[in-house]
Amino acid sequence: MLNCLLTPNAAPILNEVNRVLTLIIRFHCQLKTFSWILNATYTDPSDTSVQALRTTFEKYYIAVLSLFKVLSKLVEKGYKTSLSDLLVRLNHNGYYDQITTFSTR
């Protein structure tokens, strides 16, 4: 499947996949490294760690949604049909179908 992403024409798609994977790794590292000690006055963890996680998640969400839209259009037009496997894995529960349908209205 990844052989179809190694062509020069598919470089933007490969970059987007790498971006999504990098954001997943960043989110995981943030979860592992931030101190999750509760404040004495609040019941929430420190604001900086939560804000960093929120920012990473928002970037991830935007990246995955744009990747899903691009892959959907490419598969619809018959370009690189092997990308349909990646599309199925990315949208295994139909979540992004609902989002893209809602956002196009």
Global pTM exceeds 0.85: no
100's tokens: 């893209």
Grouped pLDDT means (10 residues each) for the chain, 105 residues: 72 89 93 70 65 92 88 80 74 70 49
Domain range list for the chain: 11-103
Q: Which among 90, 43, 53, 49 is positioned nearest to 70, based on CA atoms?
A: 90
Residues constituting the chain:
105
Instruction: Give the pLDDT score at 105.
Output: 43
The three-point CA angle 67-68-74 to 5° equals 90
* Torsional sign, CA 30, 65, 74, 10: negative
